[in-house]
Amino acid sequence: MKKNATTRNAAPTLDEVLKAIAEATNSSEMTAVGELATKLRTDQEKDIARTAYSDKLNAERAAAHAQAAQDDPAGAGSKDGGGGEVAAMTFAQVMDALEKAETPDALDVAAALIRTVQDEGQREELEEFFVAKRHRMESEQ
């Protein structure tokens, strides 16, 4: 019954990915969910997952921004909202995700994290790395 052995490598369902996105609570879980989403079978499913992923990032960022505004009405504090929220990722975390991306879809997921880095100079450096890696991937195909 070797046919069953291949089922362990089966692609995740869209429902599984969407549930994982909804349940993710920190940056490492979001990165793992992004990698899982790249294994979906169809481009349509991947687009749906990308939209849900992006919506989750935006919601977390908005919540963190609102919390920061509440905690520091003068605007002098950080925007991370505490607790390891998705809205505040470090340069190293995002660079690690970009470096580990082995497919264009995985690279796109990692690139979506660039905007969560607070420092503009670091975001620009990450964007440059992303563009260079994207060009390398496209030229290898």
Tens place of pLDDT per residue across the chain (141 aa): 555 554 556 889 989 988 888 888 887 788 888 888 888 898 888 888 888 888 887 777 777 767 766 666 554 444 444 444 455 789 998 999 899 988 888 888 888 889 889 899 999 999 999 999 999 988 887
**Residues 6 or more apart from 35 whose CB is under 8 A from it?**
106, 109
Helix (H, G, I), strand (E, B) or coil at 83: coil
Phi/psi at 33 (5° precision): -65, -40
For the entire predicted model, the pTM comes to 0.51
